[in-house]
Structure 1
Amino acid sequence: MARFLVLLEGPWATLIVRELLHGPHRFTELREALPRISPHTLTSRLRRFEAHGLVVRTAYPEIPPRVEYRLTPLGERLGPVLQAMSDWATSIPDPVRGR
């Protein structure tokens, strides 16, 4: 459990994984999907995910250069975990909205 919490620490980690569950993304596509994330934070999280085997970074030998990030099979296994978190969040009362 502690390793999970360290890997998915902070508000952006789960949102990045959520985006990558839809398929490979370029850095700019992730920035557009998560407009409030700083480039530094996105880079840091992607590198952490790479180091732990959750994400693969693929650089294509093209001009201009193209780099894509995609989840590994290990990273894809987070899909049901995030779905369970989402289901739980929608099942509890929202004190702000009164539901």
Structure 2
Amino acid sequence: MSDYAHLNQYDDAVGRPAPFDPLRLCVVTTVAAIACVAGPLAVLVFALVAIGGYLRARRAGLMRSKCRLGDTRLVIAYLAVIAVASVAAIPLWVTMWLSLIPEVTR
């Protein structure tokens, strides 16, 4: 049986890698919390900001994104669909919040 212990070792000349920083997870959690509180209004704002950013980047020459969709046109189309869906959801969201207000305060 071969000894494979030498395969999983760090080269001291290179140094140890930095520990994983979960900052992106913190950012995603914060965005999700804002979306929970502000509902479709927050989703609309985030989508519009992202559309603006991608349009500017595309005009500057970015044709492929790190986004899974790849082509920036697909990313912009996806964001536009999300923006339209959030606009459609705003009246439902407002109705939900109004239904939570007791009759006495209306």
TM category (shorter chain) comes to: 0.3 to 0.5
Question: Greater Rg, structure 1 or structure 2?
Answer: 2
Taking structure 1 as the reference length, what is the TM-score of the superposition?
A: 0.32
Greater strand proportion: 1
Taking structure 2 as the reference length, what is the TM-score of the superposition?
A: 0.31
